[in-house]
């Protein structure tokens, strides 16, 4: 039994209102950390810099270290949360208003935005401008969020659903253009963001991780940008939920962490609560119990398709490279409206043709060369072969994932020490849908259509349209949309 | 290696042929170095030697990008993609070499002086900005003349960015000649590492120190 229980912040809210003692303690600890000097490793600013540092500021082995678009995404962020939680708990010891019980047992709450019943809205403690004493500014509040979310709107259900990620069968795959990246991200070396040409977000990083970042931050908000996201106190609740979902994924049959030493032995550098440097490896954080915490029991989202079997086949992808069978031949710009591209397909001519099976074992949609100056704070649902007469009841069947843009401002930044230049890349495994459409005689081997539809926050109660929906959306350029067979 | 394993390797590594071309270039230069011609080499001969040298030195660092481009192409276009891309890339290096070989004898600048210039360039932020820009390759159209043209453009752009990054060391090679195999090997490792190592700007000081050492040796 772990000593510390990370609880659902909405359960805390239901138990004691916005200011449950655990939530209020967090707010007060954040206030203390925000008052510390930025060069203090236990300060709020430094803890955020551990994730990312804007260009022009000094770097060392402790800051600008977060791992994204790689199989280190989950272990690095778990380690990050672990040391942050200890820093917060140490800060609580300085606060007289916090009870001894809370001080000794405080653990990071998680924001389970996928539990329904309004949980996809920001918890009230993050919206209140003042602490319950009515005199102290609430450190959990920031104006730098999406206007709709900040005023009580909810993240779109497609943006918060972990069902598709939880259905992934494998943690990681060797990266190869066009191919699957797995639950936790592709096999890469140390990859802060875009060091590897093969970098791409894993299924959990795609959604809900990236989608929630953009959805909460909106255009220009703290959560939307790589270097500012941890400055929003809700970042830590969001990542606790991502960390919980990793633990939930592992509870399913056949799911396991990578056995490779290249993953297990990767070291991560942090500071402990006294500001002393510490180093941990992935293998030291795979078991939350070893870190003396566990998650409060929560309902696991229904798996994709509702069958409990998971979307991904249990078999790994075939041992042959995917081959491109069709792609767009000109860039596409997304500016907040639905867009559709038609992709002419050819018969496979390489390994997929020579495979024993008459149909490809895997089919993927790749969205490549995604560029933009700023995260628009808006995700796009991606549909394949969406019928013209699709409605809410049938469109979901054609939904293959979401396109989000967390980190897009870094993707082509050549002023910091990252190679950059590849743009973002998303891979969606559409095997299940392609097989179903084939079985129904509705898969056209000569053409596929890919639709991008913006998914905006749901408006706050009493409002008809999400604030900002009519405003100009920062553009994002899609270099190419391709279909691969494997 | 069984035939099946060999086939799977070539499926997954279409860049092997380009790697083979670089290896062949090294072999050719090695043989040439063992049997050097006496006297001054005509311009076209020197330029041919330069092209072989550029292939030996600059293709290895580009292999990862070549592989990615080929595997992102239609299957039947993989070799064509590599040919157009490397064709554009080496065209830029050939043009640079022609200018360098024509200008250096007139300027009378030695390899040592140019290595000293390369040392200074290594320590500038512009050098590293150029290194990071090396990987900026747009996705290619899938088929037809548009794909060929985009692929050649990608190679030309890649070459221009690579020249921006490596002009100083390659000027030194132009002065030293394509038979200076030791210097060639050293500079090949440097340019490949700068392009491929994560956060390679960490290498700037050790590489600058090594270049300065090479400059001193060349000047003595």
Residue A303 binned pLDDT confidence (cut-offs 50, 70, 90): low
For residue A229, the 8-state DSSP code is G
User: Into which CATH architecture does domain A4-306 fall?
Assistant: Orthogonal Bundle (1.10)
Q: Which CATH number is A323-485 given? A: 2.60.120
A209 close to A201: Cβ distance less than 8 angstroms: yes
Q: Could you tell me if A366 and A176 are in contact, meaning their C-beta atoms sit under 8 angstroms apart?
A: no
| pLDDT at position A197 over 50 | yes
Question: What pLDDT was estimated at residue B33?
Answer: 86
Distance CA A252, CA A261 (A): 23
Supply B73's token pair. Answer: 């192409």
* The pLDDT of residue A394 is above 80: no
A486 closest CA partner among A206, A204, A176, A197 = A176
Q: What are phi and psi of A281, to 5 degrees?
A: -110, 160
Rounded-to-integer distance, Cα A405 and Cα A38, Å: 28
Q: Which of A74, A51, A76, A59 is closest to A279 using CA atoms?
A: A76
Instruction: Find out whether B101 and B43 touch, Cβ atoms under 8 Å.
Output: yes
Of A38-47, B7-16, B199-208, give the range with the top mean pLDDT. Answer: A38-47
Range of the domain at B213: 3-219
Residue B151's Cα: distance from chain center in Å?
18
Higher pLDDT, B104 or A313: B104
Cβ distance of A420 and B140 shorter than 8 Å: no
ipTM of the complex: 0.90
A145 with A232: CB under 8 angstroms?
yes
**H helices of A361-428, where?**
392-398
Which residue of A69, A188, A191, A321 is the best one to mutate when testing the B interface, meaning the one whose CB has the most B CBs within 10 A? A321
Amino acid A458: pLDDT = 92
User: What average pLDDT does range B199-214 have in this prediction?
Assistant: 91
Give the closest of B65, B68, B135 to A420, CB-based.
Answer: B135
- pLDDT, greater one: A39 or A421: A39
**Structural contact between residues A248 and A166, judged by C-beta atoms closer than 8 angstroms:** yes
Contact A27, A93 (CB under 8 A): no
pLDDT over 50 at A308, yes or no: no
Beta-carbon separation of B201 and A417 below 8 A: yes
pTM, two decimal places? 0.92
Which chain A residues are within 8 Å of B201, Cβ to Cβ? 417
Q: What pLDDT is stored for residue A316 in this prediction?
A: 83
DSSP β-bridge partners for residue A371: A477
- CA separation for the pair A222, B28 (Å, rounded): 57
Per the listing, tokens 């430094």 go with A46
User: Among A189, A321, A323, whose Cβ lies nearest the Cβ of B198?
Assistant: A189
A411: which chain B residues are within 8 Å (Cβ-Cβ)?
none
Q: How confident is the model at residue B40 (pLDDT cuts 50, 70, 90)?
A: confident
Contact assignment for A329 to B128 by CB distance below 8 Å: no
Q: Find the length of chain A.
A: 486
**Closest-CA residue to A452 (of A475, A434, A419):** A475
Could you read off the pLDDT of A214-241 as tens digits, one per residue? Answer: 999 999 999 999 899 999 999 999 999 9
pLDDT of residue A305: 46
Are B71 and A177 in contact (CB < 8 Å)? yes
Structure tokens given for B81? 């993609």
* Residue A85 contacts residue A96 (beta carbons within 8 Å): no
For an interface test with B, the pick among A174, A324, A342, A371 (most B C-beta atoms closer than 10 Å) comes out as A324
Domain ranges in chain A with CATH number 1.10.1280.10: 4-306
- Contact residues, chain B, for A328 at CB < 8 Å: 141
* The pLDDT of residue A90 is above 60: yes
Task: Check CB contact under 8 Å for A417 and B134.
Answer: no
Per CB-CB distance under 8 Å, the chain B contacts of A179 are none
User: Phi, psi at residue A163, to the nearest 5°?
Assistant: -60, -45
Phi, psi of B125 (to 5 degrees): -65, -25
Instruction: Show residues of chain B in contact with A482, CB under 8 Å.
Output: 72, 139, 142
Contact B199 A195 (CB under 8 A): yes
CB pair distance less than 8 Å for B68 and A349: no
Residue B34 CA, chain-centre distance (Å), reads: 23
Query: How confident is the model over A257-281, as pLDDT tens digits?
Result: 999 999 999 999 999 999 999 999 9
- Tens digit of each residue's pLDDT (9 = 90 or more) over A166-191: 999 999 998 888 998 899 999 988 88
pLDDT tens figures, A416-460: 666 555 689 999 999 999 999 999 999 999 999 999 999 999 988
Contact A255, A246 (CB under 8 A): no
Q: Residue A343: which H helix or E strand, with range?
A: strand A339-344
Q: Which of B139, B201, B202 best probes binding to A when mutated, by most A CB atoms within 10 angstroms?
A: B139
Percent of chain A with pLDDT over 90: 77
- Is the model's pLDDT at A354 over the cut of 80? no
Average pLDDT over residues A331-357: 90
* A329 vs B71, B133, B141: nearest CB: B141
Residue B72 sits at the chain A interface (C-beta within 8 Å): yes
pLDDT in tens, A91-146: 999 999 999 999 999 999 999 999 999 999 999 999 999 999 999 999 999 999 99
* B5 burial level (CB within 10 Å; 0-12, 13-18, 19+): exposed
Structural domain count, chain B = 1
d(CA A429, CA B170): 45
B138 and A369: CB-CB below 8 Å? yes
Strands A267-271 and A480-485: unpaired
């Amino acid at each position: 039994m772990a000593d510390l229980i990370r609880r659902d912040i909405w359960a805390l809210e239901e138990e004691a209102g916005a200011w449950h003692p655990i939530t209020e303690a967090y707010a007060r600890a954040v206030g203390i950390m925000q008052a510390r000097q930025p060069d203090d490793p236990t300060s709020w600013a430094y803890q955020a810099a551990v994730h990312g540092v804007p260009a022009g500021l000094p770097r060392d082995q402790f800051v600008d270290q977060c791992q994204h678009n790689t199989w280190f995404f989950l272990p690095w962020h778990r380690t990050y949360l672990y040391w942050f939680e200890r820093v917060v708990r140490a800060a609580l010891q300085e606060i007289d208003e916090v009870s001894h019980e809370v001080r000794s047992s405080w653990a990071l709450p998680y924001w389970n935005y996928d539990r329904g019943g309004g949980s996809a809205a920001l918890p009230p403690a993050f919206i209140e401008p003042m602490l319950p004493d009515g005199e102290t500014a609430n450190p959990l509040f920031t104006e730098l969020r999406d206007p709709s979310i900040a005023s009580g709107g909810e993240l779109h259900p497609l943006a918060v659903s972990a069902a598709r990620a939880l259905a992934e069968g494998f943690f990681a795959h060797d990266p190869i253009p066009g191919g699957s990246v797995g639950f936790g991200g592709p096999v890469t070396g140390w990859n802060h963001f875009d060091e590897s040409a093969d970098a791409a977000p894993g299924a959990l990083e795609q959604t809900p991780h990236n989608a929630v970042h953009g959805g909460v931050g909106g255009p220009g908000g703290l959560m939307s940008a790589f270097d500012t996201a941890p400055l929003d106190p809700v970042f830590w609740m969001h990542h606790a939920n991502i960390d919980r979902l990793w633990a939930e994924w592992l509870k399913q049959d056949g799911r396991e962490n990578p056995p490779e030493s290249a993953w297990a032995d990767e070291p991560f550098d942090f500071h402990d609560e006294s500001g002393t440097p510490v180093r941990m490896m992935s293998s030291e954080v795979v078991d939350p119990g070893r870190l003396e915490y566990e998650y409060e029991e929560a309902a696991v989202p229904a798996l994709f398709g509702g069958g409990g079997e998971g979307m991904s086949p249990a078999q790994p992808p075939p041992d042959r490279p995917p081959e491109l069978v069709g792609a767009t031949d000109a860039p596409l710009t997304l500016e907040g409206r639905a867009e559709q591209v038609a992709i002419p397909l050819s018969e496979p001519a390489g390994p997929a043709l020579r495979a024993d099976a008459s149909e490809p074992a895997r089919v993927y949609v790749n969205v490549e060369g995604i560029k933009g100056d700023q995260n628009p704070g808006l995700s796009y649902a991606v549909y394949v072969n969406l019928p013209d007469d699709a409605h809410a009841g049938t469109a979901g069947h054609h939904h293959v994932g979401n396109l989000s843009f967390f980190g897009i401002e870094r993707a082509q930044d050549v002023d910091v020490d990252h190679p950059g230049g590849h743009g973002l890349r998303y891979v969606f495994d559409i095997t299940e849908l392609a097989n179903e459409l084939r079985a129904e005689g509705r898969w056209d081997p000569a053409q596929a259509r890919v639709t991008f539809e913006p998914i905006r926050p749901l408006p706050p109660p009493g409002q008809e349209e999400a604030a900002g929906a009519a405003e100009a959306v920062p553009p994002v350029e899609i270099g190419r949309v391709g279909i691969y067979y494997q | 290696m069984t035939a099946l394993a060999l086939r799977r390797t070539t499926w997954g590594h279409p860049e092997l042929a380009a790697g083979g071309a670089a290896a062949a270039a090294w072999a050719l230069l090695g043989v040439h170095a063992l049997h050097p011609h006496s006297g001054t080499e005509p311009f076209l001969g020197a330029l041919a030697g330069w092209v072989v040298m550029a292939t030996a030195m600059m293709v290895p660092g580009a292999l990862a990008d070549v592989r990615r481009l080929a595997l992102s192409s239609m299957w039947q276009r993989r070799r064509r993609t590599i040919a157009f891309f490397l064709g554009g890339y080496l065209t830029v290096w050939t043009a640079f070499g022609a200018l360098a070989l024509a200008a250096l004898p007139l300027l009378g600048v030695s390899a040592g002086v140019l290595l000293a210039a390369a040392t200074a360039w290594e320590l500038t932020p512009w050098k590293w900005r150029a290194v990071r820009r090396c990987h900026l390759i747009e996705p290619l159209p899938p088929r037809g003349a548009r794909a060929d043209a985009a692929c050649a453009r990608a190679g030309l752009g890649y070459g221009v960015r690579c020249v921006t990054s490596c002009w100083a060391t390659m000027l030194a090679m132009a002065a030293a000649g394509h038979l200076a195999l030791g210097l060639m090997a050293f500079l090949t490792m440097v340019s490949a590492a700068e392009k491929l190592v994560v956060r390679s700007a960490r290498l700037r000081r050790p590489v600058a120190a090594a270049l300065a050492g090479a400059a001193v040796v060349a000047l003595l």
